[in-house]
A and B are shown apart, each in its own frame.
Chain A
């Protein structure tokens, strides 16, 4: 199938309310997970972290039927990109998926990412890409998880594009041993989403 120009991309449709048995079955259905929410393979390079949060709708109600996916570099800023599959010296794969539970909650266990460059070669602050899918969302929304208190946040070229009063919606905050990152799909505390 080579080189025949196509007429345009396939449109997105909502993931709907019933994806769990296919995409995030866990042990509830007779199917197996292709992906999980623990990215911290034993040999992954980087500080072990846990990110916990909840997803809320415009009424502040927990969204119990959403799916979150993350994509990130390892602690040295290396992506397990398709050219390599996994990084040469680790099983770290940089991708995770989780469904929200009955309280709209989710968690990821991973490593804190290192810095990766922007198109000008300038280093970005450590961040994790986030895609949120749900019933009532015609396609995924993209956000970024940054880490509160990182010196590099002050010079991050992407954060600089975000109105200062909204930057806090992109910050995972320390809560006990874990980081906290809530997603507000709309409303006063609406999370910053990116047009990618």
Chain B
């Protein structure tokens, strides 16, 4: 199956210069990007990283001697292409703050406690239908220095590969009904409100585990569609 990666699909992304998100002002290209046809280099992509996935890497709550504090959750969904087909055997990496909104990263010094039982990194490989599943704790919101009283809505960072080097996606998954959405320049850097909502997981009651964990569903759609358009049904 030959996939194509129409450039138009990228039009939904945030402008590279999004001034409300201040760090973009010195890091966004100012010169026009050069448009080119995709060659074999762009249409192929890495197929590995899978062997780095260990049996329990998808469960961020069992990486230490004790259990992390916080609200235990399951985060699951499908990686799909633009035709809705599952993307099989692709690496999904996640990282996140702990329940208090503190990252283990050395640069994060905001005065919330670290959790000795939580690193906040995980990875898994999608199955043959593109399905992935993580067990973790719900991350907290946290302050950042972008503007006065700036807080990031709770989120989990996702890194996904897909079928080629141009399907590569790094994004953030949010939680439904977060009151901080309206005030977050990173979330709002996506111009279209309906597109923004694609980053918001949905509460998934059917897949909660009674007496154990709540569940959120998050589907990820990567670039790539069949060279021959499918018949619409």
Report which A residues bind B (CB closer than 8 A).
1-23, 25, 28-35, 57-59, 61, 63, 65, 69, 71-73, 79-86, 93-95, 116-119, 124, 127, 129, 131, 133-142, 144, 158, 161-162, 166, 185-187, 190, 192-196
The answer on a CB contact under 8 Å between B170 and A139 is yes
Contact residues of B between 178 and 204, Cβ < 8 Å to A: 186-187, 189-190, 195-196, 198-199
B154 within 8 A of A: no
Total inter-chain residue pairs, C-beta < 8 Å: 275
Which residues of chain A are near B31, meaning CB under 8 Å? 166, 186, 190, 192
Q: SS class of chain A's interface: helix, strand, loop or mixed? A: loop
Which residues of chain B are near A185, meaning CB under 8 Å? 26-29
The answer on a CB contact under 8 Å between A193 and B29 is yes
Interface string of B42-56 (1 = CB under 8 A from A): 101111110011000
Assembly CA distance A147 to B159 (angstroms):
30
Which residues of chain B are near A140, meaning CB under 8 Å? 168, 170
Assembly CA distance A1 to B30 (angstroms):
41
Q: SS class of chain B's interface: helix, strand, loop or mixed? A: loop
B83 within 8 A of A: yes
Assembly CA distance A45 to B52 (angstroms):
24
Which residues of chain B are near A33, meaning CB under 8 Å? 52
Which residues of chain B are near A71, meaning CB under 8 Å? 41, 44-46, 165
Which residues of chain B are near A95, meaning CB under 8 Å? 46, 48-49
Which residues of chain B are near A6, meaning CB under 8 Å? 80, 82-84, 219, 221
Contact residues of B between 70 and 114, Cβ < 8 Å to A: 78, 80, 82-86, 91, 93-95, 97, 103-108
The answer on a CB contact under 8 Å between B107 and A137 is no
What is the distance, in angstroms, from A38's C-beta to the closest C-beta of chain B?
14
The answer on a CB contact under 8 Å between A186 and B28 is yes
Assembly CA distance A196 to B33 (angstroms):
9
Q: A16-B157, A138-B15 are in contact. Are A195 and B33 (CB under 8 A)?
A: yes
B207 within 8 A of A: no
Which residues of chain B are near A124, meaning CB under 8 Å? 39, 41
Which residues of chain A are near B18, meaning CB under 8 Å? 138
B215 within 8 A of A: no
Which residues of chain A are near B94, meaning CB under 8 Å? 22
Assembly CA distance A69 to B170 (angstroms):
12
The answer on a CB contact under 8 Å between A3 and B36 is no
What is the distance, in angstroms, from A174's C-beta to the closest C-beta of chain B?
23
